[in-house]
Structure 1
């Protein structure tokens, strides 16, 4: 099993809080991958919410190729953070030339584009850079999106955080997702490290998805360029989320109906039985087979947790107004928010979606037995 911890805060906080939670759950990860998502950023990024930020790992040659490519596309650097790699190596952490976090000015000829077209173009540029990197093994890119930073690396989470100096204030954020990975594949690949991000939607998972192949095949058949990669059987959770909310124009209350539909008897008693029967039939290839606990975020900075019917991967949500954590284990929550009212902690059941809205005042539970908020 992997270990997950996510934090949503009214005020920007250090990613070291999430790393601390992973550290107390360290028996559940083996150093084969650490992933961090930072969004709703503070510090210098507070004033450049629309500037796309490129995050990744580059060799010296890779950064030269990147610079030529971005200049050719019309992008100019607006702000950058240099994560200087210490000269003294740390056992278990690969030696890298450069961890890149760079915000860009959008090209001038994008000024009159619609948001959907900007999103599409940013995605296509990310995919092109990734293709360039895979060709010469000199770039790994994890995100290219406004108000978003992704850091992935092999190593112990706490050692890696200290190695890269992640306690710096420029990296403070209101949304933090962190995973300590336990390798279940034959080869270690950072593209298999959670969280997984696509156009503002992000998920990370503790579990396994034995229905991976039919899900991957269905998503690939949608002909959406971003549905690719799949070095991990868990990456499909982010893509299903995107497909449900963007492709099908459904809300987060319907996400669980796509991945874990109600059983037939319960379905026929549902107030939206006709719609859900049709959804179950048409999206049958997207039904997961766990056990899985999934934590995710949406473009509006809502954060959620869901579990499948087997419910064999623990998950808990708790906190206080202005600060909430979603964790694989209670000890992770205790390490970061010890002064919360623990009697209000929630461990979502198999029909629940636990949601912390962007105002971060409380946890709400959306149950699959309730009526959906369907688009008109």
Structure 2
């Protein structure tokens, strides 16, 4: 199993808050890797909220290729954080890298007249092209290219990696942090298989096993959307199903569980939106997951959520106080991050529940699959 931790805060927090929570849950991960998703950024990146931010790992040669490529398509650097490798030995299992790069760009002038949908598409295509370039030469790994998003991933124990890269720096403070301590279930470790996963404002990470991976992957790949690709991990489809729910079906987070874990037909007969949900279940039947899985995710509006599948065999809890909430695989992780919360209000989502903290971060909102869908009232 892996271990997951996410925090959403009114005030920017250090990534070390999440890393320390993972560290107290270290018996649930084997230290084979760590992934970080940062959004609603603080520090200097807060000044560039609308600017696309590139996150990745580059060799010196790859960085030169990146610079030439971005210059050719009209992107100019506005701000950058280059994490250069310390002189000491890297954490056990981690390769020696040249540069971990986080760079905010200025859009080309000709992009000013583009629609939001066009910008989303073009940013996606640039990321995919850079990923392909890196895979061809082995000189760059690109995790994200999106406004107000930073991603860092590396092989090794989370705490060792964080200390090695000195992640407790003001430039990386963020109001939303998602972190995964990885347990390797593959024969070889590919950083593209490391959670969290991200596409066009949608991120998720999963603790579990998705045995329905193949039919889900085939369905997504048949949609004709270029971003539904890669799939070094069976959990990446959870991010893409969420993206499909929002952008292709036009539905909200309330509908997500109805797609991945639909109600049984007798329950749909009694549901206030039963006719609609039957249609969704039929048309999206190849997106039904088979667990056990606990999923934590972030939406484009900066809401953070947790859901469980029907088997409910992976732990998960949400708790906190107004202005600061966290989702954790284990209560000990939540205790480490927010020890002064009212613990009687902690909530462990069950198989029908969706727990959401909105961008105002005032309370935990709960939905059950038996409730009426708010967008269909």
Q: TM-score, normalised by structure 2?
A: 0.99
| 1:59 counterpart residue number | 59
For 1:375 and 1:131, the matched residues in 2 are separated by: 41
Question: Partner of 1:203: helix, strand, or coil?
Answer: strand
Most deviating of 33-42 and 23-32: 23-32
Tell me the residue number matched to 1:107: 108
Q: Per the alignment, in what secondary structure is the counterpart of residue 256 of structure 1?
A: helix
After TM superposition, give the deviation of residue 373 of structure 1 in Å: 2.2
* SS at 2:336 equivalent: helix
Which residue in the other structure is 2:367 paired with?
366
Contact 2:91 2:161 in 1 (8 A): no
1:231-280 CA distances to partner (integer Å, 9 max, x unpaired)?
A: 00000000000000110000100000000000111111000010000000
* Separation of aligned partners in 2, 1:84 and 1:111: 34
The equivalent of 1:313 in structure 2 is 314
Deviation readout 1:94-145 (Å, 9 max, x if unpaired): 2100001000000111011111101100000000000000001111000000
Shift of 1:375: 5.8
Equivalent-residue separation in structure 2 for 1:327 and 1:292 (angstroms): 14
Please say if residues 308 and 351 of structure 2, whose CA atoms lie closer than 8 Å, have aligned partners that are also in contact.
Answer: yes
Name 2:303's counterpart in structure 1.
302
Secondary structure in structure 2 of the residue aligned to 1:11: strand
Q: State yes or no: 1:171 paired with 2:185.
A: no
Give runs of aligned pairs for residues 215-234 of structure 1, distance below 5 A. Answer: 215-234=216-235
For residues 229-308 of structure 1, the aligned pairs below 5 Å read 229-308=230-309
1:32 is aligned to 2:35: no
Counterpart in 2 of 1:68?
A: 68
Residues 34/205 of structure 1: CA separation in 2 closer, same or farther (3 Å cut): same
Contact 1:251 1:373 in 2 (8 A): no
Q: Which runs of 5+ in 1 are unaligned?
A: none
Q: Tell me the secondary structure at the aligned position of residue 251 of structure 2.
A: coil
Per-residue deviation at 1:28? 1.4
1:131 paired residue number: 132
Secondary structure of the residue that 1:374 maps to in structure 2?
helix
Shift of 1:362: 0.6
Q: Secondary structure at the match of 2:129?
A: helix
Q: CA deviation at 1:152?
A: 0.4
C-alpha contact 2:91 2:160 (8 A) present in aligned 1: no
Corresponding position of 2:343: 342
Q: Distance in 1 between matches of 2:76 and 2:35?
A: 27
1:88 alignment partner in structure 2? 88
CA distance in 2, matches of 1:91, 1:219: 36
Distance 1:32 1:199 in 2: 27
TM-score, normalised to structure 1, is 0.99
Give the secondary structure class of the aligned counterpart of 1:348: coil
Contact 2:91–2:157 (CA under 8 A) maintained in structure 1: no
Q: CA deviation at 1:82?
A: 1.6
Asked whether the equivalents of residues 294 and 306 of structure 1 are also in contact (C-alpha less than 8 Å), the reply is: yes
Q: How far 1:91 sits from its partner (Å)?
A: 3.8
Please report the RMSD computed on the Cα atoms of aligned residues, expressed in angstroms.
0.8
1:214 alignment partner, SS class: helix
Partners of 2:32 and 2:105 lie apart in 1 by: 31
SS at match of 1:360: coil
Looking at structure 2, the residues matched to 142 and 90 of structure 1 have their Cα atoms a distance apart, in angstroms, of 20
1:98 and 2:128 matched: no
User: Per-residue displacement from partner, 1:281-319 (whole Å, max 9, x unpaired)?
Assistant: 000000000000000000110000000010000000000
